[in-house]
Amino acid sequence: MIESVKTEATILSNLDHPNVIKVKHLIQLNAKYFLGMQYLPGATLQTFLKTKFRNDGKLADTEAAQLMKGLLHGVVYLHQKGIIHRDLKPQNILIDDFEDLTTVKLIDFGLGQQNTRFK
């Protein structure tokens, strides 16, 4: 399992796309591994939607289009690199800035799961 996580971390650290979280490095301290990732001060899409619907109950078409455009650009990039996310859901999508929905990023690639790359 550790070798699988190392391999996945190496693959992810070579990704560079504005809609995919940047993995910086994998560090081993004693018997524990730590994954260093890009810091984003925003929140998940789940939090954004809860906030949005609590305030006015509506997601404008332009907002939905911006979110989907960023998500699809990220997914296409991953697929071009042979990577399948396998767990797309609001909790695994970050928005860096709620005022700029183009800042959406895919996160949580399920490190350690098998068959996450196209064969």
User: What would the pLDDT profile of 24-64 be if each residue is shown by its tens digit?
Assistant: 888 889 988 888 888 888 899 999 988 877 667 678 899 99
Does residue 32 lie within any of the structural domains?
yes
Q: What CATH number should be reported for the domain holding residue 10?
A: 1.10.510.10
Residue 87 designated active-site: yes
Q: What is the pLDDT of residues 82-102, one digit of tens each?
A: 888 888 999 999 999 888 898
| Segment (H or E) for 93 | strand 93-97
Residue 112 maps to a domain: no
Q: Which residues form the domain of 6?
A: 2-106
- Looking at residue 7, its pLDDT comes to 75
User: Does 112 score more than 80 pLDDT?
Assistant: no
Is residue 118 a part of any domain in this protein? no
Q: Is residue 64 part of a domain?
A: yes
Q: Is 119 inside a domain boundary?
A: no
Contact 67, 104 (CB under 8 A): yes
Tokens of 32: 């524990």
Distances (CA, A) of 67 to 12, 57, 83, 105: 22, 17, 21, 9
Considering the domain boundaries, does residue 111 fall inside one?
A: no
Which one is catalytic: 87, 96, 97, 108? 87
Beta bridge partners of 94: 44, 105
For residue 82, is it within any domain?
yes
Structural domain includes residue 117: no
Number of domains in the chain: 1
